Amino acid sequence: MEKLIIDRLGPIAHCEIEIKDFLILTGAQATGKSTIAKSIFFFGNLKNLLVGIVRKSMGTVNYEALPMTLRNRFIKEIRNNFLQIFGTTWAMDPQMRIEYLYENGETISVSLKKEKSQDQYAYIDLSLNIEKKIEKVERQFITEGRLASAPAELKRVVYADVFGNEQEMVYIPAGRSMITLLSAQINYIYSTMDDNQKRNLDYCTLNYLERILQIKPFFNYSFERLIQMEKGTTDRRLDITRLQQAARLNKEILKGEYRNIAGDERLQITDDKYVKINFASSGQQESVWILNVLFYYMLNGIHTCFIIEEPESHLYPDSQKVMTEFIALAGQFGNRVIITTHSPYVLSTVNNLLYAKLISKKVDQQKLAQVVNPCSWIDFQTMAAFHVSNGTIRDCTDPDYENLQNDVIDGASEEINTAFEHMVDLAHGE
């Protein structure tokens, strides 16, 4: 089991959290949900940073003359990435420390140190076994170079052997509609930015932007057509039932389907009617790249950890329900799903999906499937949910009933209803 520990980072005073396959973070704004989500992404994405460094080094002439070992360059890259995600260390609490325990038992931590008159800086600590494994990677892929022609083998070794986790990391931030709104200009804006300008962007947003630019051309056909094309060309066993359900949910949320026709991005309403994506509704613009990104990784069989901020943004309650079902479905492909949310509709839908799984062996499954599609059922044993407040987290699951606690779902509405009842009492002179 992977585990994250945070001390004094942003709004979080302290938390320890085991990373389950379906993880929910809820609570008011500015309480630290994104801090936790970004911390999980930060540590999970380090394997990609290491692969990138090795790939750049594999073709280097006279590698041994370089001033730093692979370990030291990796630590430098970790420090830079930490600053890109969390900002300057100058204003951080001196006692800040975050640590991640990987599935293979290895650990990496970041804390703050101050030397003499220097400002405090991020100190990176790697467990001894990770250091040994990095030395082995350096020897195999760079010094000896005998695996230099095997990029897939490099990725497998780093992911599986060094970090014990072969999942890709995908972060989908809040505020997605702006990137969709500027769809026609985003390629130009990105191509004109120099490296310093890109480094000044929040890394999670930059990573999301680069991912969208990379996979946009893939969506020149409908989801259904893409499924049929993949079925005809791959040797992998496709879960056609779940993929087709994903296509149906996608169409239900968007009231159409995204297309990229030679760079012309549109929302196809019918065969002969479409809307330019930058003129679509805010809900469609917020949703489209959650749906596209998740479907891309599902269809291509890439095991992924999806971290999604506020999937409910700009969606009507019934669409929030369908979006939650789509995200839960994505978790059925050997993937991990982590969401931050303020929405009682998202939480209520999760409860329905948990309850469906709980009673599935006690009732007529065909009748149950007509109420809640089995592709999206959630197993309570593989999920966790936490309410983030006052600098820490509280488990908000109910193990007796295998669902989420009602006070977390109904807390805000109860306050509103109480205020209304007080006003009714005043109106009647009570």
Q: How confident is the model at residue 178 (pLDDT cuts 50, 70, 90)?
A: confident
Domain count, the chain: 1
- Of 313, 314, 374, nearest to 339 by C-alpha is 313
Q: How confident is the model at residue 197 (pLDDT cuts 50, 70, 90)?
A: low
Q: Is the dihedral of CA 190, 191, 196, 197 positive or negative?
A: negative
- Residue 317 is predicted with a pLDDT of 95
Query: For residues 385 and 183, which has the higher predicted lDDT (pLDDT)?
Result: 385
> Per the domain annotation, does 32 fall within a domain?
yes
Report how far apart the first and last C-alpha atoms of the chain are (Å, whole number). Answer: 56
> Per the domain annotation, does 77 fall within a domain?
no
Model confidence pLDDT, tens digit, residues 308-338: 999 999 999 999 999 999 999 999 888 999 9
pLDDT of residue 304 exceeding 80? yes
> Per the domain annotation, does 139 fall within a domain?
no
pLDDT of residue 430 exceeding 80? no
- Residue 419 is predicted with a pLDDT of 80
CB 109 within 8 A of CB 78: no
- Residue 410 is predicted with a pLDDT of 73
Give residue 299's identity as a one-letter amino acid code: L
Q: Is the dihedral of CA 63, 69, 75, 80 positive or negative?
A: negative
pLDDT of residue 247 exceeding 60? yes
Task: Show the tokens assigned to 194.
Answer: 């120099």
- Of 285, 283, 267, 284, nearest to 275 by C-alpha is 267
> Per the domain annotation, does 359 fall within a domain?
yes
- Residue 231 is predicted with a pLDDT of 93
Q: How confident is the model at residue 179 (pLDDT cuts 50, 70, 90)?
A: confident
CATH code of the domain covering residue 418: 3.40.50
Q: What is the pTM for the complete model shown? A: 0.93
Rounded Cα distance, 93 and 39, in Å: 16
All residues at 6 or more sequence positions from 124 whose CB lies less than 8 Å from its CB, including other chains: 75, 78, 79, 108, 109, 110
> Per the domain annotation, does 419 fall within a domain?
yes
Model confidence pLDDT, tens digit, residues 78-97: 999 999 999 999 889 999 99
Model confidence pLDDT, tens digit, residues 265-289: 999 999 899 999 989 999 999 999 9
- The percentage of residues in the chain with a pLDDT greater than 90, rounded to a whole number, is 73
pLDDT of residue 117 exceeding 90? no
- The percentage of residues in the chain with a pLDDT greater than 70, rounded to a whole number, is 91
> Per the domain annotation, does 123 fall within a domain?
no
Range of the domain at 309: 2-44+167-427
Rounded Cα distance, 297 and 398, in Å: 32
Calculate the alpha carbon distances from 46 to 100, 334, 338, 399, 409 in Å.
Answer: 11, 20, 18, 33, 34
Query: For residues 211 and 411, which has the higher predicted lDDT (pLDDT)?
Result: 211
Per the prediction, the chain carries an average pLDDT of: 90
> Per the domain annotation, does 251 fall within a domain?
yes
Q: How confident is the model at residue 188 (pLDDT cuts 50, 70, 90)?
A: low
- Residue 189 is predicted with a pLDDT of 65
Rounded Cα distance, 212 and 187, in Å: 10
Give the range with max mean pLDDT: 26-30, 87-91, 107-111, 416-420. Answer: 107-111
> Per the domain annotation, does 237 fall within a domain?
yes
H-type helices in 360-401, by residue range? 365-371
